[in-house]
Chains A and B, each alone.
Chain A
Amino acid sequence: MAQKVVETLKDVTVIFAGDSGDGMQLVGNELANTSAIVGNDIGTLPDFPAEIRAPQGTLAGVSGYQLKFGNYDLRTPGDIGDTLIAMNPAALKVNLPKLKPNGVLIVDTANFEKKNLALAKYESNPLEDYTLDKYQVFPVNITNLTREALKETGLDTRGIDRCKNFFALGMVFWLYNRPLDFTINIIKKKFAKKEKVAEANILALRGGYAYCEATEAFAISYEVKPAKLAPGKYRSIMGNTALALGLVAATSKAKKQMFYGGYPITPASDILHELAKHKNFGIKTFQAEDEIAGVCSAIGASYAGAIGVTATSGPGLALKTEAIGLAIATELPLVIIDVQRAGPSTGMPTKTEQSDLFQAVYGRNGDAPIPVMAAATPSDCFEMAYEATRIAIKYMTPVILLTDNYVANGAEPWKIPNIDTLKPIEYDHTADPDNFHPYTRNPETLARKWIIPGTKGLQYRIGGIERQNVTGNISYDPDNHQTMNDLRFEKVDRIANEYPATKVVGDEKGDLLVISWGGTYGATATAVERAREEGYSVSHAHLRYVYPLPNDLGGIIKNFKKVLIPELNNGQLVHLIRDKYVVDAICYSKVKGQPFVVGEIQAKIAEVIGK
């Protein structure tokens, strides 16, 4: 056997694509995990249909998993694929535009027959015409090879065919010189109760690897050296998991009970699933009868002294609106998480978007200010969930934390925080019974006291009817309403006083400032970095606190000739910025259910500065 030729690369983007039942998410995740463990930085983009088992072989049923791994701080799952694994014609058709010219294309030839070609709306077989001329095509009958490798396992053909994803993964592992053992361990754990299936999957994985070794299918293989991440202990984490852990951390640090009330909704349900596992932290999870009961139960729990939390996605947030108004009026702590998805209405439940910003900031009856935060990356979800909880309790206010499908389901290496460095979460449930009024305020934060039922001598009544300042009694007094309205705004505004300074990456003055918020962080940061390398006078400011806007942002904006705001909506932050700073900020909108790729923003930067 010839010596394996290994070429070293800085980064690689791999796309697995197949039917939604082909297990592409599973093997994509495994490549991500192994890459993280061997020390690469990773960025992932799962892209799957909303239907659990969409019709086989169709374009609508294609499930893809894009992953980038590299030897430096990556921030994104890659603009364009170096390697594409297509398990059928539909997967090829949908994903081919994402493969770079001369990219490696591995196809399972078994499915390139009449029926599947027709389902994919191919008039002729792309393996036989000119469609794939500009790629390095590796036609491999993965289905047959897997059947051959697994024929002794005793599984039926259906069972065997379910393992072909691991055969494909084995090939990719060979191509990129990844070790098999982490995945083998995971398979053993995952199928602990189905030994036969575990064995078969391991056999398929090894089979794919061995096939490449024996046939010398690929002339060269590649390797990506570990990234130089900040020293520390790491694990790979997905956004929703990180978010749930942030909530557990807040509960644990606050030494309080957490009550999570929610209703299943894509893509937020994993937060409920994760929290439900951690009952030993005293977390009570309540699967409510609907979204409204979800938030109402969380508010009730908060009134009774627990940390009340609810998570949802756009349509669910709409249903919770009235109750959030009550939490604002009664000044109770509450954490509301919105994992945004493409809207309006049902929209595209498994696709990403940032279009709930207006809903979060403005979407209630009456003047109803609420702090709004947004997580930038999967691991940032941990910190922001913790911070949202801390702010909610300190200021006795509901807080909306926005993430999105891209951040929630993406994975990246996470430097595990030292729990001693987490900010304390403070509250005081006591008051002097002779001098107690429910709406007496802390002079610094304007927060009222969190007095909870069961406390002797302090019983009080609150509700959604306007309350007299200080006493909390029902009041229809005109001046009091003005006072209370002003106080509600003032209290939320003061939260900005404790934000960390807004970081400007790049020069403090220049032609262009690009402002991003939430999940567009990675693509924007990288685009600005590359544009700067090309000599453009451009800087980047990212917002994790969206309402109220940071106190220092106005001053920063003044130092630039132009402001550009890339957003996955029709231009929402741009309105907030124009409104507050009266600046002619330029909107760069994308509403395709897909995140920005770096190249798009980079091109926009050049266009705006060039003008």
Chain B
Amino acid sequence: MSTETQQLKKKDFVSDQDVRWCPGCGDYAILASVQKIMPVLGNTQEGTVFVSGIGCSSRFPYYMNTYGFHTIHGRAPAFATAIKATNPKLDVWLATGDGDSLSIGGNHFIHLLRRNPNINVILFNNRIYGLTKGQYSPTSEKGKITKSTPFGSIEEPFNPSDVALSAKATFVARGIDRDTKHLGELMEVAAKHKGTSFVEVYQNCNIFNDGAFLQYTDKVSKLENCLYLEHDKPMVFGKDDNKGIKLDGLKPVVVSLEDGKHSIEDLLVHDQYAEDVTLAHILSSLSQKPDFPTPIGVLRSIEKPCYEDELVKQIDYAKEQKGEGDLEALLNQGDTWIVED
């Protein structure tokens, strides 16, 4: 049919459901950027599945005019892995939050990354529990005052990219809801990665944790606080690119490019394809170090076999070795005997 080749547009991926996030929520920007890249990626509505757990971000599938499954808290990785394994042709996306993936679903999250099915994960990190009305989350900063921590949180927060890298993720990146242009580009790269792509998005919850990421979005302060990563480029940041990251042994340090002591040649050069994970870990650690900028962009992108491909390979191998399953033969195998009439 000729209509099938019709070029789809962003609006074709917008479902007929009313979006029910709070006005001003960072989720809107993320939704819009995902809807926008669908046609760019050549996706079809029927060939795309959005899976989610529970939380504000997990309402995502309802707003996409694709197949969608809003599952249970923290478990979306297991659903998504199986959907991909059942039908590897589907383009599977997973929308999740900091509580969903790093608290209740921590186990599933790490095992998803370890298995590496070709799935795109977007983790909306707002560092708070929104849907349950404002308790601290596993990414909330220590000392955070919330309804459940009136005297401040006494727990060390997770840095999602640390967890992802330790779980052997093949693609780890970070974006920001307000920087929609960069976010769109990032989503596209992530989607094209073969294997599980993990994108953490700093997402403002303007109701319960407003301004949590202001330092990365404010016009002036973001220059000091964001390190935009580009493959094969030296790591510079600051107003007029006046600073950089240099390695002192294994220790990253911030150096000035203005004091005459360091030049751009001294700086660390980003290699997102490095097989060795050390550089990515060093970069990931920066966001929790005071006086360092937070890396934004792709921290790591390597190729490894995908779970579903390996699974299908084994099935093909079994069929090659034993032939297509023959039920009659299977039921009759082993020692049998006949009872005569």
Contact = CB atoms under 8 A, between A and B. Distances in A.
A230 B71 CA distance: 49
Given A280-B318, A304-B87, A296 B71 contact: yes
Nearest to B333: A235
B107 interface: yes
Majority secondary structure of chain A interface residues (helix, strand, loop or mixed): mixed
A51 to B, nearest CB: 27
What is the interface residue range for chain B against chain A? 35 or more
Interface string A210-242: 000000000000000010011111111000000
A297 B79 contact: yes
A303 B69 contact: yes
Interface string A303-326: 111101000000000000011001
A463 B70 contact: yes
Nearest to B110: A289
Contacts of A294: 78
B51 to A, nearest CB: 7
B86 A306 contact: yes
B338 interface: yes
B70 A248 contact: no
B339 A296 contact: no
A185 B61 CA distance: 58
A282 B90 contact: no
Interface string A430-464: 00000000000000000000001111111111111
B41 interface: no
B321 interface: yes
Contacts of A403: none
B339 A234 contact: yes
Contacts of A37: 335, 337
A229 B318 CA distance: 36
A300 B46 contact: no
A78 interface: no
Interface residues of A, number: 70
A300 B51 contact: yes
A540 B44 CA distance: 59
Contact of B85 (A232, A286, A454): A286
Contacts of B168: none
Interface stretch (B32-40, B136-144, B229-237, B322-330): B322-330
A301 interface: yes
Contacts of B70: 461-465
A455 B82 contact: no
B189 interface: no
A245 B328 CA distance: 11
Contacts of B89: 454
Nearest to B46: A456
Contact of B337 (A233, A253, A462): A233
B336 A455 contact: no
Given A39-B339, A282-B325, A300 B82 contact: yes
Interface string B148-166: 0000000000000000000
B68 to A, nearest CB: 4
Interface in A455-482: 455-465, 473-474
Interface string B301-317: 00000000001001100
A336 interface: no
B340 A231 contact: yes
Given A232-B338, A461-B15, A292 B46 contact: no
Contacts of B61: 461, 463
B86 A257 contact: yes
Interface in B56-105: 61-62, 64-72, 75, 77-83, 85-87, 89-90
A304 B67 CA distance: 10
A261 B311 CA distance: 13
A286 B107 CA distance: 16
Nearest to B79: A300
A72 interface: no
B69 A461 contact: yes
B86 A290 contact: no
Contacts of A289: 78, 107-108, 111
A281 B326 CA distance: 8
A47 to B, nearest CB: 24
A156 B66 CA distance: 67
Given A182-B335, A453-B90, A461 B78 contact: no
A278 B326 CA distance: 10
Instruction: With a 10 A CB-CB cut-off, give which of B82, B311, B324 has the most chain A CB atoms.
Output: B82
A462 B69 contact: yes
B320 to A, nearest CB: 9
B33 to A, nearest CB: 20
A293 interface: yes
A301 B52 CA distance: 15
A235 B315 contact: no
B339 A231 contact: yes
B336 A234 contact: yes
B337 A296 contact: no
B327 A300 contact: no
B331 A279 contact: no
Contacts of B67: 453-454, 459-461
B257 to A, nearest CB: 46
Interface string A12-47: 000000000000000000000100110100000000
A259 interface: yes
Nearest to A303: B69
Contacts of B331: 245, 249, 416-417, 419
A109 interface: no
B87 A323 contact: no
Interface string A261-293: 100000000000000001111101010111011
11 contacts: A236-B334, A236-B335, A259-B82, A281-B327, A296-B75, A296-B79, A301-B86, A303-B69, A322-B72, A416-B331, A459-B66
Those 6 A-B pairs whose CB atoms lie nearest each other, nearest first:
A463-B70, A281-B325, A300-B79, A300-B82, A461-B68, A296-B78
Interface of A: 33, 36-37, 39, 182, 226, 229-236, 245, 248-249, 252-253, 257, 259, 261, 278-282, 284, 286, 288-290, 292-294, 296-301, 303-306, 308, 322-323, 326, 330, 415-417, 419, 452-465, 473-474
